[in-house]
Amino acid sequence: MDAGAHVDVERAERERAARRARSWLNFAAAYLVAAGGMSLIWGIVALANKSAFHEGGLVWSKLDTWGPIALAVGGAQILAAILVVQRRFAGQWLAGVLAALGILFHFLTLGAYPAWSVIALVANGLVLWAITAQGDEFDD
């Protein structure tokens, strides 16, 4: 193999790795929107239809407290997804913090609606993994 062909192989490999990283970040952004949407729905239902939840299953406080928290976290997650799509470093940082907050939120509210919380925990965990594993793709 001559030097030119070796350079072409290396360039092709770098391009494949960059495409793979972009795909994971698009995945992270999509899951961040999904996790944010789930938190928004959770918050709206917690405030409007308390009978859908088992309020006694909450670790502390009441649905009147957790509803606005869910709305704030969910809205911020959707905004962070926009920054992730734009490959902004602030988006990586914000997405990581909000995914961790989403994990904490759904863990603490697991008893109110377990199935919903487990799905949201997985979505937030996948976001956290994708953001940290592909962090080199963000602008400084």
pLDDT values of the chain reduced to their tens digit, one per residue, 140 residues: 566 676 777 888 878 777 777 788 888 899 999 989 989 998 999 899 888 888 777 777 788 888 899 999 999 999 999 998 888 888 888 999 999 998 998 888 888 888 988 998 999 999 898 888 876 666 65
Q: Measured between alpha carbons, how far is 34 from 136 in angstroms, rounded to an integer?
A: 23
What is the DSSP secondary structure assignment for residue 137, as one 8-state letter? G
Q: Where would I find the beta strands (DSSP E) of the chain? A: none
Segments making up each domain of the chain, as ranges: 3-137
> Which residues lie below 8 Å from residue 102, measured CB to CB, with a gap of 6+?
35, 39, 73, 77, 120, 123, 124, 127
